[in-house]
């Protein structure tokens, strides 16, 4: 089993930046990468960004490409999401989870070890 813990959310104004973090523990060696998802009230959970442990280009949702950057600490399984030029529509609870399949995926069904999430609120 893999466990993850998100941190770093908060309340910011439109145009501001924020970095959220994800710490992974447990059987991380059984996973293939990490992904960030978000869910706003009344909406479905949606893919935001992901990377693979073995390297290669990260991939992003169209709505955040060019504004958000996912990265990792090469010494462990910590993952970060740098969010720039935040918009009110980015307001959501952000979750990280470990990818459990070798194929790249934007589907939450291919991720596990979900944390409690961290709230990001962007005011206009």
Task: Tell me the pLDDT tens digit for each residue of 64-76.
Answer: 999 999 999 977 8
Residue 27, number of CB atoms within 10 A of its CB: 12
| Percentage of the chain exceeding pLDDT 90 | 90
Query: What per-residue confidence (pLDDT) applies to 74?
Result: 75
Q: Give the per-residue pLDDT at 23.
A: 94
pLDDT at 84 over 90: yes
Residue 121 tokens, joined: 């609120």
Contact 78, 24 (CB under 8 A): yes
Q: How far are the Cα atoms of 23, 30, 60, 75, 94 from residue 37, in angstroms, in the given order?
A: 15, 20, 10, 23, 6
Band of residue 56 on the pLDDT scale cut at 50, 70, 90: confident
């Amino acid at each position: 089993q893999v466990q993850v813990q998100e941190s770093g959310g908060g309340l910011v104004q439109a145009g501001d930046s924020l970095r959220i973090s994800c710490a992974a523990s447990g059987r991380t060696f059984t996973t293939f990468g990490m992904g960030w998802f978000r869910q706003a009230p009344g909406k479905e959970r949606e893919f935001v960004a992901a990377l693979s442990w073995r390297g290669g280009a990260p991939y992003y949702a169209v709505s955040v490409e060019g504004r958000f950057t996912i990265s990792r600490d090469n010494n462990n399984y910590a993952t970060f999401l740098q969010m720039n030029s935040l918009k009110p529509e980015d307001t959501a609870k952000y979750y990280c989870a470990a990818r459990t399949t070798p194929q790249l995926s934007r589907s939450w069904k291919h991720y596990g070890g979900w944390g409690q999430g961290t709230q990001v609120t962007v005011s206009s």
